[in-house]
Amino acid sequence: MQIKNQEGFCFVSFDALAQSGMVKHCFTTRQGGVSEGIYATMNLSFTRGEERAKVMENYRILCQKMGFSLEDIVVARQSHTDRVQTIGRQDGGKGILREVDFPDCDAMITDVPGIVLSAFGADCVVILLLDPKKKAIAAVHSGWRGTVMQIVKKTVQKMTEVYQTDPKDLIAAISPSIGKCCFQVDLPVAEKFRQAFLFADEIVFDDEGQAGKYKIDLWETNRRILLQAGVLPENIELAALCTKCRTDLFYSHRAMGEERGGQAGFICLCE
Ligand SMILES: [Zn+2]
């Protein structure tokens, strides 16, 4: 993983995805946009209350720096589901230039070159997937609810169903998101992880600083889910950057509450 800086526009780039030569991708940071105040500076979310013109300008900057077309980006309505939506050419621009006319979903897959899939996360884990053999991609929003529902495994299964993806071919990138250093939860959430995962002892910990509180490792949980889905360990890249620790670079829901902008992962197959 590298943090790249293109004249002030900073983004996270994953080595294996970049080296494939088959995709354009990034996970955006707060830096390089025109937003001000609580949204400073690269807010890409239309739903956080900032004036639309500023967000649109940030998208224009994103497109210029990354070589995306605005008409090709797809921004879904994420709502902590485990729905995976198959995206076609006709979906380009939805969520930015046009209304989204497909149901809420938290993962998107496509094999259409040029189409830019997105997944937002301000502490939630975002996972980008590339199948270099079948030439298909995915963008996944895996918050703690999505993680418990194993949305990334469902995304891999959907890619197999629709594109005949062999999981062993997949390249996976796990975005900056809240680390086990900061993801503190109460017992009910800890219990959900314990019930969902046989390896719970490796991802749920007592918070040594606070009785009755727990800490969860969402990065390792999603890595283990990917392994169980058949992805090879050497093909999984972890950014290992905590959004709550690094509010200089990222928006963090835990650190900022509702007063913040939104960042996202973007991926598209080269044409
Ligand atoms: Zn942290």
271 residues of the chain, pLDDT tens digit each: 999 999 999 999 999 999 999 999 999 999 999 999 999 999 999 999 999 999 999 999 999 999 999 999 999 999 999 999 999 999 999 999 999 999 999 999 999 999 999 999 999 999 999 999 999 999 999 999 999 999 999 999 999 999 999 999 999 999 999 999 999 999 999 999 999 999 999 999 999 999 999 999 999 999 999 999 999 999 999 999 999 999 999 999 999 999 999 999 999 999 8
Residue 96 maps to a domain: yes
Q: Under the phi-then-psi rule, with left for phi > 0, alpha for psi from -120 to 50, and beta for the rest, what region is 142? A: beta
CATH at 126: 3.60.140.10
Residue type, 38: I
If one counts the domains in the chain, the total is 1
Residue 233 maps to a domain: no
Which residues have CB atoms below 5 A from the ion given as ligand 1? Answer: 179, 181-182, 242, 244-245
Buried b (16+ CB within 10 A) or exposed e, 184-208: bbeeebbebbeeebeebeebbeeee
How much distance in Å is there from the Cα of 219 to the middle of ligand 1?
Answer: 12
CA–CA separation, 212 and 209 (whole Å): 10
Residue 143 maps to a domain: yes
Predicted pLDDT of residue 220? 98
Predicted pLDDT of residue 14? 98
Predicted pLDDT of residue 68? 98
How much distance in Å is there from the Cα of 211 to the middle of ligand 1?
Answer: 19
Predicted pLDDT of residue 134? 98
CB 147 within 8 A of CB 223: no
Q: Give the end-to-end CA distance of the chain in Å, rounded to a whole number.
A: 24
Residue 255 maps to a domain: yes
Sign of CA dihedral 6, 10, 11, 12: positive
Residue 61 maps to a domain: yes
pTM: 0.98
How much distance in Å is there from the Cα of 76 to the middle of ligand 1?
Answer: 27
Residue 183 maps to a domain: no
**Domain, as residue range, for 246:** 2-177+242-269
How much distance in Å is there from the Cα of 183 to the middle of ligand 1?
Answer: 7
Residue 42 maps to a domain: yes
How much distance in Å is there from the Cα of 59 to the middle of ligand 1?
Answer: 28
Sign of CA dihedral 59, 113, 174, 121: positive
Pairing of strands 125-131, 136-142: antiparallel
Residue 164 maps to a domain: yes
How much distance in Å is there from the Cα of 254 to the middle of ligand 1?
Answer: 10
How much distance in Å is there from the Cα of 193 to the middle of ligand 1?
Answer: 19
How much distance in Å is there from the Cα of 30 to the middle of ligand 1?
Answer: 17
User: Nearest-CA neighbor of 235 among 40, 19, 54?
Assistant: 19
CB 42 within 8 A of CB 31: yes
